[in-house]
Amino acid sequence: MRKTKVESWVVYRKSLTVHGKELGSNAVCEQSDWDEMELSRPGFHTLLQSGIQNEAEAEKLARGTSGDPPKRESKLKVATKPIETEE
């Protein structure tokens, strides 16, 4: 029987300062990688969410609405007052 590796994912904020301005962005990695990063530089990056079950969900959370298709407006016009009918 084969054992499958169950790994969770984390979303974190990369710390990057250039010319005194914070330019960090969100990133994704496996929990084990995050643990190693925290051991080597504690508190350098900010953990946003952990325990995410798959990479796709983690990526979606990391990017927020960036990369989503633009919202389309309907071309249908909605009547603002009721249509009168003869009875």
What would the pLDDT profile of 10-57 be if each residue is shown by its tens digit?
999 987 777 777 777 899 999 999 999 999 999 989 999 999 999 999
Would you state the pLDDT for residue 83? 65
Band (79; pLDDT cuts 50, 70, 90): low
Cβ atoms < 10 Å from Cβ of 3: 5
Would you state the pLDDT for residue 26? 92
Q: Which residues pair with 47 in a beta bridge?
A: 12
78 Cα distance to chain centroid: 35
Would you state the pLDDT for residue 19? 77
What is the pLDDT averaged over residues 62-79? 71
Would you state the pLDDT for residue 60? 93
Which sequence spans correspond to the domains of the chain?
Answer: 9-63
Would you state the pLDDT for residue 8? 96
CB burial of 38-77 (b: ≥16 within 10 Å; e: otherwise) equals: eeeeeeebeeeeeebeeeeebbbbbeeeeeeeeeeeeeee
Provide the sign of the torsion angle of the four alpha carbons 33, 35, 41, 42, taken in this order: positive
Band (61; pLDDT cuts 50, 70, 90): very high
